[in-house]
Amino acid sequence: LLDALADMGALAIERVRLVEDLDRAERAAETDRLARALLTSISHDLRTPLASVLGAASTLRDLDAALPGEAKADLLATIIEESERLNRFIVNLLDMTRLEAGAVAPNLAPQDLGEIVDTALRRTEGVLAGHRVVVEMPPDLPALPLDPVLFEQVLVNLLDNAAKYAPEGSLVTVRARRDGARIRLEVLDEGDGLPEEDVERVFDKFYRVRKGDRVRAGTGLGLAIARGFVEAMGGTVTAGNRGDRNGAAFTVSLPARTAREDRAA
Ligand code: ADP
């Protein structure tokens, strides 16, 4: 009997090993698959705008004298826009890398939320030019413990998306209000919003609702970075749809005081 039990034990251990090996192989295959998808996506996202820049610059060089002023202006606009896109993509990749390396150390100091919102709106003026923008800030908001550089980037990413995924002429609203010991900041748009089953997944790295969307180019990194930065500052960010009309609603909830101030209170 003992022998039989020992055999069974050995068999069980063998099975556990097999399952573990399989798990490991599956995880390795998944990591491999992700790495390949990442490389494909990165090379595509880098090469597409770069090809446009090279094309426009070469045309300017070769045909310079023959080109009417308007055509030159168009080519220059292409060069600038595509270079900005490249720059955004590289900034995103670097931000993501910093987050994953655990190298994001927020510099928390009391900040005027309204001022950070203004700066973010100035930075997104170009992309939001076709939209109407409304800002609703209560006058008595307390200063919040934020890293202004990180928080500005969070807002820029949310505003960029509102500009990209909501039609021209529609209204983008940025509003803040007090909610007990926290401050809620919302970015609302009038686009198609998000499929309910995707409201969590949009924060995943490289996740995009419409995968092959070439018109609204993107990397699927903006929201992952926004969430990483907000969480590093002790806040949360959630996605959803508006209750009052069509459109997405992104809500950032921030502590009104630092954890240390909370303990002292
Ligand atoms: P990107 O915009 O570069 O694709 P993000 O991480 O910023 O990456 O967003 C992930 C996905 O979430 C987008 O591809 C889009 O499908 C969806 N999304 C983000 N913001 C909005 C919005 N305001 N309205 C509708 N869909 C959105």
Note down pLDDT in tens along the chain; length 265 residues. Answer: 778 878 878 888 888 888 888 888 888 887 777 777 777 777 777 888 899 999 999 999 999 888 899 999 999 999 998 898 888 888 888 888 889 888 899 999 999 999 999 999 999 998 899 999 999 999 889 999 999 999 999 999 999 999 999 999 999 999 999 998 899 999 999 999 999 999 999 999 888 887 766 556 677 889 999 999 999 999 999 999 999 999 999 999 999 876 677 777 6
Distance 145 CA to ligand 1 centre (A): 27
The phi-psi region of residue 8 (left if phi > 0; otherwise alpha if psi is between -120 and 50; otherwise beta) is alpha
- What residue's CA is closest to ligand 1, atom 14? 208
Sign for the CA dihedral angle at 206, 214, 126, 49 comes to positive
Cα distances from 127 to residues 4, 112, 135, 225, in angstroms, run 73, 24, 17, 19
Rounded Cα–Cα distance for residues 201 and 223 (Å): 10
Rounded Cα–Cα distance for residues 126 and 136 (Å): 21
Give the position, in ligand 1's atom list, of the atom nearest the Cα of 250.
23
Distance 195 CA to ligand 1 centre (A): 11
pLDDT at position 259: 66
pLDDT at position 223: 96
Distance 102 CA to ligand 1 centre (A): 24
Give the position, in ligand 1's atom list, of the atom nearest the Cα of 157.
7
Distance 202 CA to ligand 1 centre (A): 6
- What residue's CA is closest to ligand 1, atom 12? 202
Q: Provide the pairing of β-strand 132-136 with 171-179.
A: parallel
- What residue's CA is closest to ligand 1, atom 21? 161
Give the position, in ligand 1's atom list, of the atom nearest the Cα of 220.
8
Computed on alpha carbons and rounded to an integer, the radius of gyration of the chain in Å comes to 24
Cα distances from 206 to residues 27, 42, 93, in angstroms, run 18, 10, 11
pLDDT at position 65: 85
pTM equals 0.78
Give the position, in ligand 1's atom list, of the atom nearest the Cα of 210.
16
- What residue's CA is closest to ligand 1, atom 16? 209
Best mutation site among 165, 196, 229 for ligand 1 pocket (most ligand atoms within 8 Å of CB): 165
- What residue's CA is closest to ligand 1, atom 25? 193
Q: Are 229 and 153 in contact (CB under 8 A)?
A: yes
Q: Are 131 and 162 in contact (CB under 8 A)?
A: yes
Sign for the CA dihedral angle at 187, 193, 196, 198 comes to negative
Identity (one letter) of the amino acid at 39? Answer: L
Q: Are 134 and 173 in contact (CB under 8 A)?
A: yes
- What residue's CA is closest to ligand 1, atom 19? 161
Q: Are 250 and 237 in contact (CB under 8 A)?
A: yes
Give the position, in ligand 1's atom list, of the atom nearest the Cα of 92.
3
ipTM beyond cut 0.95: yes
Q: H helices of the chain, where?
A: 2-63, 69-100, 113-123, 148-165, 222-232, 259-264
Rounded Cα–Cα distance for residues 96 and 116 (Å): 22
Rounded Cα–Cα distance for residues 231 and 238 (Å): 11
Q: Provide the pairing of β-strand 248-255 with 182-188.
A: antiparallel
Distance 158 CA to ligand 1 centre (A): 9
Task: Indicate the DSSP class of residue 11.
Answer: H
Query: Any residues with Cβ below 6 Å from ligand 1, and which?
Result: 157, 161-162, 165, 189, 191, 193-194, 202, 207-210, 218-224, 248
